[in-house]
Each structure stands twice: as structure tokens, then as C-alpha cells.
Amino acid sequence: MPISDQQAAGHEFLRQMYDDAYFPDRVVDRGKAILLRLCERIEAERPSDLQSLYALTQAATEEFNLLDREFVAAGSGIETVAREWICDEFCFVASAYGFADADAEELTAGRDW
């Protein structure tokens, strides 16, 4: 399902990670796909409040938890700077869909990276 929100559709997700050779593009591609699926789910389910949004971002966070293993296997990992970049993307998504007041920590509360 293509993303209909123009702001989200035109966004270059995880650009900083693509620009850094430490992060393999093939694994970053999977992270980008997680974020795009999050956008699709938000558009499909239309969360009406922050708790509903957090439920969707929690599922995406759990996918990133699993993806971290792939980064580690590729000689990389979701460390401090990547953690901030990924969290920034979650904040971007929340804002793009009208949840500018979403708490950055709550968006990725279940992260283990």
C-alpha cells in the first residue's frame, strides 16, 4: 500500500545511516521498510489518540529490536548515534501524522538498543 501522506512519502528515512559506511545498506533497507510499514499502519488504522499511536510504534520498535541482531551480525549495531537517528525518525512519523505532542521516549519505549 503506497503511503498517501506527502510529507512521509517524500521523506528520506535513515539518510544518516545510509551516509555512514558503518551501517550496511542492506540492513538499513530493512530499517527503512519498518518505518514505511509503520506509516502504512498509521494510515490504515488511523489512531485517534497517543495510546493508539504508541501501540503501533511499539510493534515497530520490536522489529528494530530484532533488526539490531542483523546489524551486529554484519559487524555493526544500533549504538548511540544510530539510536538517536532512529528515534528521530519515529518522532518525524508521529509529527507527520498529527501527533507532534508524542513523547519521544514513549514512541520507542520497548527498545533494547
Give yes or no for residue 32 having a pLDDT over 80.
yes
Which one-letter DSSP state was computed for residue 92?
H
pTM of the model: 0.96
pLDDT tens digits for range 49-78: 999 999 999 999 999 999 999 999 999 999
Give yes or no for residue 1 having a pLDDT over 80.
no
Residue 87 CB partners (closer than 8 Å, separation 6+) = 104, 107, 108
Give yes or no for residue 4 having a pLDDT over 90.
yes
Q: Give percent of the chain above pLDDT 70.
A: 100
